[in-house]
Structure 1
Amino acid sequence: MSIPPDASPADTAALRRQRLHWLGSLAAAARSRQRLAALCICLSGALLIGQAAAIAWLIQAVLVQHRPLASAVPVLVALLAVLVLRALLGSATQAAAGEVADTARLALRERVYRRLLARGPLWLRQQRTGKLGELMLTHADAVENYYAGYQPVRIEVVVVPLLIVLAVAWTDWVVALILVFTAPLVPFFMMLVGWGAEAAGRAQLGELARMSGHFADRIKGLGLLRLYGRGEAELDGVAAAAEGVRERTMKVLRIAFLSSTVLEFFASISVAMVALYFGLSYLGLMSLHAQVPTLGVGMFCLLLAPEFYAPLRRLAAHYHDRANALAAAAEVERLLGELPAAEAAVDAPAAAPRAPELLEQHAPPVQVRDLVLRPVGARHDVIQGLSFQIEPGQRLALVGPSGSGKSTLLEALAGWLPPQSGSIVLRPGMDVGYAGQRPYLFHGSIADNLRLADPGATDAHLRAVAEAAQVMRFAEALPDGLDTVIGERGVGLSGGEARRIGLARLLLRDPQLLLLDEPTAFLDPDTEADLLRTLAAFARGRAVVIATHSEVAMRWADTRLTLTAGGTALATEASP
């Protein structure tokens, strides 16, 4: 969950540590590449000392001691080698850090996707898909910048400044003291700015998620908005959402520019103090040593002084990546209710206890005992004290008025909705298939949507289930038959046609228990009769539960289970 407004500093720090630990676990599979990046960036920093020493020696030897240029050739070659090696190490650091970032981003998307699968379709129906989509887009990008930018510099800022201070102290202890006493100013201001940056980043990600959800919802309902003349009016809502993102983004940028300015100011003051010390020493106005430092010593210290603060400045620049990553983790936690762990697995579809082993061999495929069901978000139960069983090959019709709980019962049998009390016992190995009233169809061909159930299905098998579900009755009239491309959510098809595709997809999966919600709705009598006839042949030997208002479908079933609107009275009877 996100940090509450009245959270204590200790709670806030604990939540931050928890999220940092979670962020660190995302790159667990790339620890070796992470160590390689840290090693390369530290070696590059160590070579920087040798580079400064070579430049300082050349200035002292050529300009002060007037040595011949030939004697400087080995040092020039060494300097060139150091420059080339540092360039290679920089490339290796970026490559390794990029691989770590890719691993972390993929891990985030996998964990979020698994958690969304575990939440189930009933929970997803209550969410805005635009917001959930941002978890795998903008939030994953924030984690990528955290690993590609902040993490390597975090190691560098611990090792390289320490090496520079030791090297400078060996040549001039005064400069080392200046560096040591001014260095804490940078982390102090980074800490102050970091708190504001994290809060601003969280607000920006939240605003971006809201805008994405708002825009995605309007795109999906564009036809309805145009039908009611609200198309132009919704532009104001989109503009307001975009303005909110702009304001939040500008606030983040203001914090970033302010922090960079402050840190650059203190780093420049510190380097100026080193330059002032040497200037006064060379002019004879300050004498803290037995003798004036040589020009080579002065150049060595002046070259390293900016480099001492460079990792700190880079850390400050990438500190916003850390803040954005923490904000992304907070948003993931807020939207999903938790930070998904690596071992998180998709919940098993059967949310009911199993019967004792000795009874399972002879038990019917499904046993329902004292079942009490309540739809997601509802305040009252729609089914109370329901008990029945389904035998192999039985065709059970769920009948009753709208709101009596027929669809809710099917969702519970499918394992989507846990009971309030009672149990649903499935025989071990029972494969359950569900075809709802609003089957989701993806943008693509009809055949592609069918093959979701069995990607390796042959064309002949595909056509057979399409014939059984009466899909070919309308597909043959389409330009490309089953290869005709349809829009997202079945745009271009009628409601009945979409349901028949959903039914054909279920038949292609070939489950042992078929759960069908109004499969014959919106069909003409001839098509309904043909569908029920082919369905009876296709489902021979399998149990079928069908929720329906159709008298024809009720007669097709061999048993009826009648549910009342109050959810208290029910009865089972044989179909006439």
Structure 2
Amino acid sequence: MPGPHSLPSRDIVSQDIDRHSLEAQQRKVRQRWLDGLAVVATGRRRLAALSISVSGILLVGQAAAIAWLVQHVLVERAPLADGIAVLVALGAALLLRTVLGSVTQLAAGEVADAARLALRERAYACLLRKGPLWLRQQRSGELGEMMLAHADAIENYYSGFQPVRIEVVVVPLVIAVAVAWVDWVVAIIFIATAPLVPFFMMLVGWGAEAAGRAQLGELARMSGHFADRIKGLGLLRLYGRGPAELEGVATAAEGVRERTMKVLRIAFLSSTVLEFFASVSVAMVALYLGLSYLGMMSLHAQVPSLGAGLFCLLLAPEFYAPLRRLAAHYHDRANALAAAAEIERLLGVLPGPVPPVAAHVPASPAEPMRRHAPPLQAHALALRPLGAAHDVLRDITFELEPNQRLALVGPSGSGKSTLLEALAGWLPPREGSVLVRPGLEIGYAGQRPYLFHGSIAENLRLADPTASLATLRAAAQAAQVLQFADRLPAGLDTVIGERGFGLSGGEARRIGLARLLLRNPGIMLLDEPTAFLDPGTEAALLHALAVFARGRSVVIATHAAAAMAWADSTLVLPEGRLHHGLQEGRA
């Protein structure tokens, strides 16, 4: 009868088997994904593999030439002149191997560069698809580390592991066949001891991949922690948290150091073990030949010649050299798989190939729209902000007509910004659909426009890098940017800090609005564009928007009475009541 603990034990074993099976499947998926990154450099990858394999095969001819010269000149006392052709062939083989080595490094380096570029393109495209709302919930330091350190972690996989993986299949087999033709005993020693290296590589590889993934994860967390503290340095100093946060940075750095040393410890220990077995195997060949020459072992009808023995001894370390190189680069494979696992953790998926650039796609193309349909239609929308427990808007339905100005009004938290994000395509509706007339571009100016470190003009030219100075100033004038920029020492060439450091909130919003106007979209989505403005500047901005918006549709979220009067219809949230009719104060 089975004991009381036999069933739980079987369950635990079954769970372990399932876990290992799942990990093996995930490892295969990541391996295929890594191979797919370098698909654009397939020709150079084959060139690298061919070059390193041919270079290894030339070793057989090189060893044969040296063995023949020793046997012919030293043992048989033949004149050196008889071996001139062999010497020339030996020199040619050495020169060709040098050239092939350079070709291998060059081609493999180009493959690694192509793979890193493909990884960064895929990751960047994946981040674009996830959108700014998802990005707000992530640590920018971790994402930056993914684009930099994680991409660099795969370099040696392509420049080292992949070419050697081909070499280890071709070269030892050729050497074993050549040695078997000279001395079958040595060939048996090679074949019997060779499987020890892959076996230990497999055991070490599992631990190396786990350690490498932990090290990359710790590095990403430290980078995110450090980047967050740099961004909030002013606040930390204000509250006197500088020394405490410095200790936190030191703790994070110590975690990275410990993880890195663990990876190095595994690498050194595994290399020592593999070198030991390779050295023992070579020593076995030397021992066999020495005992044969001393007459203490006789497995042949006659003792092998000195040339034959030298040939086998010269090829013995070269037989194991590709295996040792593969063992060394096996850590590069483990690091690459660990990097792929971390990228999958950060993005939630291994990013696929970048799709070709296409024309503007409607925010939610659930059904085709007619060319004469309204510019934008929202039907039965149910919206829930990311991370929220419940919907903030339900059953919102309206149509935006050509040249219409629609104001979204309601108290704070009623869902105005959420609705704009859904119309812009940032937030997928939980229910319902948003349809945009084909060919129309949507422009969105939010409450917190992201401004890069650089001049005001450079931040504006993100919308149109080819814009002339006159066009740039016209958009800046319409958004009331020139009202404060002209008072600055360098005007539009004034350099601002990251995230608009040095500007007020209203000034940053006006730069974001000017950037939108420079984009010249067919539908404009504006989130509180007149906030923080005095009545005179607010009136001037609304008048400029009225001129610019002719022929365009505008949706504006606002609390300002002047902006409500500027619109010709209002949508009251969260109820979704729509009021039509030209407002008296429309500019």
TM-score (norm 2): 0.94
Conservation of the 8 A alpha-carbon contact between 1:349 and 1:415: no
Partner of 2:3: none
Partner of 1:431: 441
Correspondence 1:73 to 2:72: no
Equivalents in 2 of 1:298, 1:61: separation in Å?
14
Q: Which SS does the other structure have where 1:8 is aligned?
A: helix
Q: Which SS does the other structure have where 1:323 is aligned?
A: helix
| Cα separation, partners in 2 of 1:291 and 1:55, compared to 1, 3 Å | same
Amino acid at match of 1:500: R
Match of 1:457 among 455, 467, 472: 467
Partner of 1:125: 136
Partner of 1:523: 533
| Cα separation, partners in 2 of 1:478 and 1:7, compared to 1, 3 Å | farther
Shift, 1:560, TM fit: 2.1
Conservation of the 8 A alpha-carbon contact between 1:115 and 1:345: no
| Cα separation, partners in 2 of 1:361 and 1:292, compared to 1, 3 Å | closer
Cα deviation code 1:190-227 (max 9, x no counterpart): 00000101111111111111111111111111111111
Equivalents in 1 of 2:256, 2:18: separation in Å?
26
Shift, 1:73, TM fit: 2.4
Conservation of the 8 A alpha-carbon contact between 2:361 and 2:438: no
Correspondence 1:249 to 2:260: yes
| Cα separation, partners in 2 of 1:65 and 1:361, compared to 1, 3 Å | closer
Partner of 2:397: 387
Match of 1:477 among 472, 484, 487: 487
Match of 2:324 among 275, 298, 313: 313
Shift, 1:39, TM fit: 1.0
Alignment of 1:226-375 (within 5 A): 226-342=237-353, 344=355, 350-353=362-365, 360-375=370-385
Q: Which SS does the other structure have where 1:293 is aligned?
A: coil
| Cα separation, partners in 2 of 1:468 and 1:569, compared to 1, 3 Å | closer
Match of 1:513 among 520, 523, 535: 523
Shift, 1:356, TM fit: 5.7
| Cα separation, partners in 2 of 1:64 and 1:445, compared to 1, 3 Å | same
Correspondence 1:97 to 2:104: no
Conservation of the 8 A alpha-carbon contact between 1:111 and 1:344: no
Give the ranges of 4+ consecutive aligned residues of structure 1 lying more than 6 Å apart after TM superposition.
Answer: 345-348
Shift, 1:343, TM fit: 5.1
Partner of 2:8: none
Equivalents in 2 of 1:36, 1:400: separation in Å?
65
Shift, 1:6, TM fit: 8.2
Equivalents in 2 of 1:438, 1:356: separation in Å?
33
Shift, 1:61, TM fit: 2.1
Conservation of the 8 A alpha-carbon contact between 2:67 and 2:307: yes
- Relative to structure 2, which stretch is displaced further, 262-271 or 281-290? 281-290
Equivalents in 1 of 2:251, 2:347: separation in Å?
26
Conservation of the 8 A alpha-carbon contact between 1:118 and 1:345: no
Partner of 2:9: none
Cα deviation code 1:446-486 (max 9, x no counterpart): 11111111111111010001011010111111121111111
Equivalents in 2 of 1:80, 1:184: separation in Å?
34
Match of 1:418 among 412, 421, 428: 428
Match of 1:495 among 481, 495, 505: 505
Q: Which SS does the other structure have where 1:467 is aligned?
A: helix
Amino acid at match of 1:96: A
Equivalents in 1 of 2:212, 2:367: separation in Å?
51
Conservation of the 8 A alpha-carbon contact between 1:118 and 1:346: no
Shift, 1:369, TM fit: 2.2
Q: Matched residues, percent identical?
A: 73
Q: Which SS does the other structure have where 2:444 is aligned?
A: strand
Cα deviation code 1:274-330 (max 9, x no counterpart): 111111111111111111111111111111000000000000000000011111111
- Relative to structure 2, which stretch is displaced further, 6-15 or 479-488? 6-15
Equivalents in 1 of 2:211, 2:133: separation in Å?
33
Conservation of the 8 A alpha-carbon contact between 1:354 and 1:426: no
Correspondence 1:207 to 2:218: yes
Equivalents in 2 of 1:430, 1:70: separation in Å?
84
**Considering only aligned residues, what root-mean-square deviation do their CA atoms show, in Å?**
1.7
| Cα separation, partners in 2 of 1:269 and 1:8, compared to 1, 3 Å | same
Match of 1:24 among 35, 40, 48: 35
Match of 1:216 among 214, 218, 227: 227
Q: Which SS does the other structure have where 1:428 is aligned?
A: coil
| Cα separation, partners in 2 of 1:151 and 1:356, compared to 1, 3 Å | closer
Match of 2:410 among 387, 400, 410: 400
Partner of 2:170: 159
Amino acid at match of 2:206: W
Equivalents in 1 of 2:420, 2:189: separation in Å?
75
| Cα separation, partners in 2 of 1:355 and 1:39, compared to 1, 3 Å | closer
Partner of 2:94: 83
- Relative to structure 2, which stretch is displaced further, 69-78 or 412-421? 69-78
Equivalents in 2 of 1:321, 1:466: separation in Å?
52
Cα deviation code 1:507-546 (max 9, x no counterpart): 0011121111011111122211111111111112211111
Conservation of the 8 A alpha-carbon contact between 2:362 and 2:437: no
Cα deviation code 1:311-359 (max 9, x no counterpart): 00000000000011111111111211111222556897633246665xx
Equivalents in 1 of 2:250, 2:93: separation in Å?
54
Shift, 1:569, TM fit: 6.2
Amino acid at match of 1:350: P
Equivalents in 1 of 2:96, 2:448: separation in Å?
62
Q: Which SS does the other structure have where 1:519 is aligned?
A: coil
Conservation of the 8 A alpha-carbon contact between 1:349 and 1:416: no
Q: Which SS does the other structure have where 1:137 is aligned?
A: helix
Equivalents in 1 of 2:392, 2:17: separation in Å?
39
Q: Which SS does the other structure have where 1:466 is aligned?
A: helix
Equivalents in 2 of 1:298, 1:427: separation in Å?
82
Amino acid at match of 2:45: Q
Cα deviation code 1:92-118 (max 9, x no counterpart): 111111111111111111111111111
Conservation of the 8 A alpha-carbon contact between 1:129 and 1:216: yes
Conservation of the 8 A alpha-carbon contact between 1:433 and 1:514: yes
Partner of 1:60: 71
Correspondence 1:572 to 2:579: yes
| Structure 1 residue ranges without an equivalent (≥5) | none
Equivalents in 2 of 1:353, 1:177: separation in Å?
67
Amino acid at match of 1:404: S
Conservation of the 8 A alpha-carbon contact between 2:121 and 2:354: no
Match of 1:504 among 510, 514, 530: 514
Conservation of the 8 A alpha-carbon contact between 1:370 and 1:385: yes
Q: Number of aligned residue pairs: give it.
A: 568
Conservation of the 8 A alpha-carbon contact between 1:561 and 1:570: yes
Amino acid at match of 2:380: D
Conservation of the 8 A alpha-carbon contact between 1:27 and 1:100: yes
Q: Which SS does the other structure have where 1:433 is aligned?
A: strand
